[in-house]
Amino acid sequence: MGYAQLDIEKKYPGTIAMFFQGTAGDQNPLPRRSVALAKQYGGELSCAVESVLNEKMTLLNPELLTTYAEITLPMEASPTRVELENIEKTAELDFIKRWAARMIKKIDNKEPFIKNYPYPIELWNVGDQLIVAMGGEPTIKYDINIKELLGEKTFVMGYSNDVMSYIPTAEILKEGGYESIAAQQAYGLPSKWKPEIEKMVLNEVETLSKRVGFTEKNKIKK
């Protein structure tokens, strides 16, 4: 996105190019991890922006309604000292070994593990353009589900107001893998989320949408 911003600002002098990150918790450009590829993808993104600028756009009313809430997302039971010692001995990845050692130190220091987390959700209605801003690193299915609830034109952002870990769906939590548990360890949380967080987040988004004037008639369908 940095190379895209540079390219757009070069093409349109005086413009400030801005970027928001969507629900990219389980999304990656492939291949990646080189400057050449970053420049290539930046160029592709810049061209996509330019094509939109050359098309007919929707004029938004100069009205802004906003709302914000925090919901308490629950976590599974924290690991025991014996479980943590076993992880520290057998884990193949260094960051998981370090996580286990830190959790053991917390137990020894009699520091309680957190059992839940205050999760931020914010909605903006900008002249009937709905923007949903979620905390953490949400996975792509949240974008899909929210657009099914509120219409395909809804903007869904991640990484907003707080980044505490990945926000996986119930399906991803069942599957396991990085987005399910290892990401929690990378962020220093004691355990993974409970499966009900997906419904909790979607229900809160739907509730907040009503506070900013969203009704079914606003929903733009395919």
What is the CB-side half-sphere exposure of residue 218 using CA atoms within 13 A? 17
In a domain, 89, yes or no: no
Give the confidence band of 220 by pLDDT, cuts at 50, 70, 90: low
Q: Please say whether the beta carbons of 203 and 116 come within 8 A.
A: no
Cα-based angle 167, 172, 176 (whole degrees, multiple of 5): 110
Q: Which is it for strands 129-134 and 64-74: parallel, antiparallel or unpaired?
A: unpaired
For 109-133, write each residue's pLDDT tens digit. 999 999 999 999 999 999 989 999 9
| 170 plus 139 within the same structural domain | yes
Instruction: Give backbone dihedrals phi and psi of 152, rounded to 5 degrees, phi first.
Output: -70, -15
Residues 49 and 124 in one domain: no
Q: pLDDT band for position 222 (50/70/90)?
A: very low
Report the half-sphere exposure of 153 (CA within 13 A, side-chain side).
15
Q: Are residue 68 and residue 159 in the same domain, yes or no?
A: yes
Whether 33 and 120 map to the same domain: the answer is: no
Considering the domain architecture, whether residues 46 and 127 belong to the same structural domain is answered as: no
Residue 31 CB neighbours (<10 A):
8
Same domain, 200 and 122: yes
Stated pTM of the model: 0.89
Domain identity same for 32 and 120? no
Answer whether the bond into residue 31 is a cis peptide, omega within 30°: yes
User: For all residues of the chain together, what is the average pLDDT?
Assistant: 93
Given a cut of 90, whether residue 218 has pLDDT beyond it is no
The one-character DSSP state at 195 is: T
Beta strand spans in 18-63 (E): none
In-domain check, residue 160: yes
Domain check: are 122 and 49 in the same one? no
What's residue 204's pLDDT?
Answer: 98
- Residue 143: give the domain boundaries: 64-76+115-174+191-218
**In a shared domain, residues 121 and 49:** no
Assigned domain for 104 exists: no
In-domain check, residue 185: no
User: Residue 85 burial (CB < 10 Å; 0-12/13-18/19+)?
Assistant: middle
**Could you tell me if residue 44 is inside a domain?**
yes
Residues 42 and 119 in one domain: no
Is residue 84 in some structural domain?
no
Identify the three-state secondary structure at position 16: coil
Q: What are the Cα distances from residue 112, in Å, to 60, 103, 106, 139?
A: 49, 10, 7, 29
Same domain, 152 and 69: yes
The tally of domains found in the chain comes to 2
